[in-house]
Every structure is written in C-alpha cells, then in structure tokens.
Amino acid sequence: MTKIEAITEASSSPGPSGITVIIVGLGISGLAAAIECHRRGHAVIGFEKKPDTNQFGDLLGISGNGARVLERWNNRPILDMFGDDDVCRVSTMNICDEAGNLLHAIPYDPHDPVQGNVVRRSGLLDMLYREAFSLGLDLRFGVRVEEYWEADSGAGVVVRGERIRGDCVIASDGVHSKARRFITDQDITLVEGGVAYRSIFRKEDIAGPPDAQMLLSKSQGQDFWTTYIGNNTMVAIGTAGKGEYVVWTCVARGRVSVDSEAWMQPATVSPALEYIADWPARDRIAPILLGTPPQSCFNHTLLTAEPLKRWVSSSGRMILIGDAAHPLLPTLGQGANQGIEDAAVVAICLELCGKNNIPLALRATEKLRHPRASLIQKLAIEISNNFMESGGGGGAFKGQGISQEPWIFNHDCIRHAYEEFPKAAMSVTHGTPYTPTNIPILCHDTSGSR
C-alpha cells in the first residue's frame, strides 16, 4: 500500500493540528465539514441559526462520489449508516410522459456509483448529527451570526455581541448566504429554475380518497418510483422505507416563484394540481396529491447561479462551500454530494498546510474544487433545460442524462486531494495556472478560480 493509499483509507483522526475552524451553517455541507475537520485533527466550533437539525425535505441521492467520503468514517457501507425507514429501495425507476406512456424503465442498483442511494433528507441530516454528536463536537444551534471579521492572524464571527476567534471560517450558510458578500465581495444573481412542491408523509396518514390507497397498494413491503414528464412540468411519485413513506414532488418551470428566503414554507397542493389539469395521466397522479395530510405540503423556488469568480476571501482565511459557493439545480442529484466533497477537501488541505499556512490551504481548496463544482453547476442547468423541454423523451434523456457523466459519480475526492494538493499549492504560491484533473479534459477552461 502506498503512502497515499494508507492516508486515504485511514478512518482514525491524526494528532491535533492546532487549527480551530469556525463553521457557519450546519446543514449537510456544514455538518460534513465539521466531521471531516475533526477527523483531520482540527478543533471545530459550529453555528446554526435554526434551533436543531430538523429540516423538511423529501428524498435526495448520495451517489458514489459522496458515499466514498461517508463510508470512510466507520468503514461500513453507506446503506448500513441509515435505518430502514430512511432508504428508498426500488428495483426500477419508471419514466412516463404526461399521458402515462412508459418511456424508460431504468433498472436501479444502489451499488452503481452513478445511481447511488436514495435516502430521506431528514435521515441524512440525522445521521450526520449523530456522528458529530458522538465525536463531541462544539456545535451551537439557535445562534445567529451577526458579523464576520478577518485579520492577518485569524478570522471569526460575532455572535450575541461576542467576538469569537478561529484560524479560519468555513461558511456553508446556503443559497441565500449572508457570508458570501463579505467573503468574496461579489454580488450574485440567483436564477430561478422553477418552483417545486414537495411532500413526504407516512402511508398510514394519507388523508385521501380510496383511489390513493389503491394506487399505493403495490408498495406493500417494497418501494416504487415513477416520474411523469410534461412540457416544463415534472411530477414524481413513490415510496420510501419499504412502502412506509409516500413521497411526491412537482417541479414546474416558468411559474410564479416563492417570495421567501426560507428553503421551504407551507403550501397547498392546489397549484400542483393545476399544472397537470390537462394531463391524460392526471387520474394516476391527483389521488396521491389530494391525499396529502394537512400541513404536509411545502414549496420553494429552485435557484442556481453563474459560478462565482472565487470562494476565498482576500486575506485567505474564509471560504464558502456547498450551496453558498455553488447553488445547484437538483437535475444531477449533486447538491449534497458536492457539499460533501467540499467538506472533505478543505479539511485535507488544512491538514496538509498546517496552522501557519491557512491562506494557502483555502486557496488550494479553491483550485481543487472550483472548476469541478462550477462545471456541474452549468451542466445541471443544461440538462434541466433539455429534459424538461423535451418532456423527458428520447435524446434529452439518453444523450444528455446522468449516465453520460461518470466523471462526476466515480470521483474519489479524498484520494484526489492528497494526490493533487502539491500541484494546487504550487499554483497558488507561484501564481501559475493549475490544470484540474477531476473534470473532462475538454472542459479545463471552466476554471475561474485564482
């Protein structure tokens, strides 16, 4: 086993690095960053404005690139990290048109790094929090960061009038990041990719017509998943937890956006029903939507943006990660996975640079991560446009789909960071170009970082 292999496969923490990392925002990216930093020997102080980790959301995918990070924590398969209720186990993903005609029946294999595992968002957050809690990390919930500050010798935040100091700040405070402007001095224009209506509830709580129960009868002890695609509208219906949870999502482009910075807020199912009012397949879909229990439907605007020019502050002691750095449309299922990659790489670069070279660590992280995340940002927009405009048919699915992008899902960001760090660091210290090796060779001109 080579030195790189030994380091990347290790699951125990090295000795203390002497580095104190402040993390703002304890969603998926922030919790992953807290755990990864601890594993690399750094002390962690985390702040989250919400009182706990509870966050509504239906399902998300953990593809091979994200799973490779999580599976190293305790050397166990990703599925063993979740309870039965947290996982969607299906044998086939069905894609239908608005008339209900089957366009594609895609065999589903959770061991395939491209397809990955489909889990409940709340289950992932619970797992991350349990891991962080077991490590004794200093995570403070119900705390709002009032200010950010940076000096040559450190950086930090102001909380309840108290100035809290660290060696660096990792801001993972989401798509509406308050840290973004301070850190990058850039104004970001969020682009609306549509509006989404979502719900997840226990099957036993379905408040609805007999038709809904009949449609769900197929999910006894197993899960199913069907996506219906019309022009600029998509509805997905399925189950999770071996049929225990009902999940549905309606995404519509060109509709009225949600005027709120909250990730989700309560909504009614009425707009979603209106979007499919003239679909021949409406009778297959409407009973499930109508059966949604009260207070169980939420909506939000899908937001993305052009890639930022940089993620690191001018003095090099503050960095953006996750949606704060690269808000992603859900088309590729990479929002959580790219945030997890960010978390692992920044923790490794801090480890390799040490306490006396924090700015080099964060700028090397930017070199390693910015081109890849930026390209995925753009690709998610392109595929969303093609897929929705085509109604999910033919070329847009087969030619532009995720199966054509193995460089995303087969990536091992931990191994890559250890192998590529010397080149990225040299690029920073000498001001020379860095050629990324974690994106297709024809896309090297997407690197906009310094």
For 54-65, give one letter per residue: b (16+ CB within 10 A) or e: eebbbbbbbbbb
Distance CA 284, CA 293 (A): 18
Q: What is the CA radius of gyration of the chain?
A: 22
Q: Residue 8's pLDDT is what?
A: 52
| Whether residue 312 has pLDDT greater than 70 | yes
Mean pLDDT over each residue of the chain, to the nearest integer: 88
Catalytic residue (one of 228, 245, 275, 418): 228
pLDDT of residue 229: 93
299 forms beta bridges with 197, 265
Q: Which domains does the chain have, with CATH numbers?
A: 3-89+120-188+306-430 (3.50.50.60), 191-304 (no CATH)
Higher pLDDT, 42 or 91: 42
416 and 69 Cβ atoms separated by less than 8 Å? no
Look up the pTM and report it. Answer: 0.91
Q: Are 153 and 167 in contact (CB under 8 A)?
A: no
DSSP symbols for 132-152: HHHTT-EEEES--EEEEEEET
What is the H or E stretch that residue 195 is in? strand 191-202
- 248-258 average pLDDT score: 80
**pLDDT value at position 400?**
36
For range 300-326, the mean pLDDT: 95
User: Reduced to 3 states, what is the DSSP secondary structure of residue 36?
Assistant: helix
> What tens digit of pLDDT does each residue of 32-43 get?
999 999 999 999
pLDDT in tens, 105-129: 999 988 888 888 999 999 999 999 9
* Residue 365 confidence (pLDDT): 98
Q: Is 198 a catalytic residue?
A: yes
pLDDT at 423 over 50: yes
228 is catalytic: yes
Active-site residue (options: 121, 198, 255, 317): 198
The pLDDT of residue 386 is above 80: no
pLDDT of residue 382 exceeding 70: yes
Can you give the pLDDT at residue 388?
A: 60
